[in-house]
Amino acid sequence: MIRTSARKTPARELVIALHCSGAGAAQWRRLDETLGEDYELVAPEHYGCDSTGPWTGDHAFTLADEAARTIALIDGNDRKVHLVGHSYGGVVITEAGRHPKVAALVYIAAFAPDQGESVDSLIANPPPGAPVPPILPPQAGYLFLDKGKFRDSFAADVDEEKATFMAHSQVPWGVGALSGAVGKPAWKSKPSWYLVATEDRMIPPPAQRAMSKRAGSTVTEEPGSHSIYVSKPQVVASVIAAAAKGVGVAA
């Protein structure tokens, strides 16, 4: 888990950020540096991944695992929480975000499912000509992206050295998470904000627009890849700040 270091003044806003499949929590570092002292960022790894990287436990993680762990993090704090989800992380915040301490949902190029939907169902019928994510066949119940195609699909606007590091530091994604269906979506009862990455080659921008419209989100569009939280952390930070202002948690 990535947790920000001690700050000179107490952080007024708590942000819990859920990353996507394949990416590690450390990739939120640039966002943490950009958010400033008014925010504390907590970025957990996927369920079952210990601090050294290997996966633990006797099963591939599921949406239920991820949601339960996120709820435990929320319960462990005495402040209102802004939940941020990138890609698959959007599914997690949609499920866990019903928690009464959650003030706002922030989707960053993310899935925002409706009740009964899963990643499987949302990607089942891609539009003609849509880019196909380079997901490799499952390995022992986990999924990875093809390292050779990673930058083009996932991080086209990230410099080559950093994108190569991201490709080689992928964390495995449990196949079971693909089919995890959302219960009552949190966006039906919580205000939401959505950042559409208009050059995304993992989740097509038209799909992002459709999900954000359905959720009634406040939408920002910005040219960027699926890794816009790495390439343009200042844009992501501004969306989070708008959400915080919108729900009036800050003093």
* Full 3-state SS string of 38-103: CEEEEECCCCCECCCCCECCCCCCCHHHHHHHHHHHHHCCCCCEEEEEECCHHHHHHHHCCCCCEE
Question: How many Cβ atoms are within 10 Å of 8's Cβ, its own excluded?
Answer: 5
Nearest CA-CA partner of 35 in 231, 222, 240, 247:
240
2-247: CATH topology is Rossmann fold (3.40.50)
Q: Cα(198)–Cα(137) distance, rounded to whole angstroms?
A: 28
Tokens of 68: 């339960």
**From first to last of its 251 residues, what are the pLDDT tens digits of the chain?**
545 444 445 567 899 999 887 677 788 989 999 998 889 999 987 665 544 444 444 445 788 888 998 999 999 988 999 999 999 999 999 999 999 999 999 999 999 999 999 999 999 888 888 888 999 998 888 889 999 999 999 999 999 999 999 999 888 788 888 899 999 999 999 999 999 999 999 999 999 999 999 999 999 999 999 999 999 999 999 999 999 999 985 43
* Nearest-10 Cα torsion for 102, 107, 112, 115: 0
Nearest CA-CA partner of 119 in 171, 66, 44, 53:
66
Kindly give the pairing relationship between strand 218-222 and strand 81-86: unpaired
Tokens of 74: 């929320």
Tell me: the pLDDT tens digits for 99-158?
999 999 999 999 999 999 999 999 988 888 888 899 999 888 888 999 999 999 999 999
